[in-house]
Amino acid sequence: MEHRPSLKRKAAGFSLLFLGALGTVLPILQGFLFLALGTEPTLNQPPGWAKLFAAFNVTVVAIFAVEYAARVWVAGVDPQYRGLGGRLKYATRFYPIADLLAFLPELILMLVGGGGALLVLRVLRLARLVKIARFIPAFDALGAALRRSRSQLLTSLAVALTLVYVSAVLLYFVEGLGGHHQEEFASIPRAIWWAVATLTTVGYGDVYPITPLGRFCAAIIAIAGIGVVALPAGVFASAFSDELKERREKESGNDEIQ
């Protein structure tokens, strides 16, 4: 019997979430899609496409601007943010700033019509990701996972970076100074680029040792090192997974108590 209200509340929450997704997430995702496609020169854009794109853009920016104004206005109801000063205080918090960045740069671009360097402003649209993050309940688990595994993360990162540096110095001597004086190993920073590509197992193939000694060293480094460089990422992934699991258990525990 106790479960009913919880389920009801959940269903109501789900409906709200669904409407929120329709009203917020979808336009934002479309905005990112259009931002990406708009930079592709070889795309055969049908006539009228640019107009549609612009109209869509104006609508979204308008909605976000109105929403922002409403939010700041409503914040004044809270005694903490009363008056003009209180609203300014509210506006300098993290979420309101993200909300502002989500439309202001594009609004300026629309009004000023700037080209060239100003287009960089369009990328601030990425601030809209923060808006989406609110609809994904586990998104703030990222930060908790970072805090949770901080000391392990730092240690494993230090070990990984040390390995990258030492490997790079080794190959710099073997392939850059010795061997066939490969251009791509001719300095430690270049060798670091090789070490990162190898130890993360990306292996683009733009840089690789060619002398037998270099290949011998690279083989040992690869077999011994791939696990070590994957450590920080693995530590974070495991902390994130634990955090999500704990929250789920806590939540289902709360439901049972009610």
Residues 104-163 that bind a second copy (CB under 8 A): 120, 123, 126, 129, 132, 136-139, 141-142, 151-152, 154-162
Q: Which is nearer to a second copy, 40 or 85 (CB)?
A: 40
Cα–Cα distance for residue pair 258/146, rounded to 1 Å: 31
Region binding a second copy by CB under 8 A among candidate stretches 11-19, 56-64, 106-114, 217-225: 217-225
Query: 76: buried, middle or exposed (CB in 10 Å: 19+, 13-18, 0-12)?
Result: middle
60 touching a second copy, by CB under 8 A = no
**Residue indicated by tokens 């009203």:** 23
Q: Which is nearer to a second copy, 75 or 229 (CB)?
A: 229
Q: What residues contact 118, with CB distance under 8 A and at least 6 apart?
A: 108, 109, 112
Cα–Cα distance for residue pair 77/145, rounded to 1 Å: 34
From candidates 212, 252, 253, 257, binder to a second copy by CB under 8 A: 212
From candidates 77, 111, 223, 257, binder to a second copy by CB under 8 A: 223
Residue 224 CA neighbour count, 13 Å, CB half: 10
H-helix or E-strand containing 12? Answer: helix 3-20
Least Å from the CB of residue 62 to a second copy: 24
Q: Which is nearer to a second copy, 23 or 137 (CB)?
A: 137
Q: Which is nearer to a second copy, 87 or 173 (CB)?
A: 173
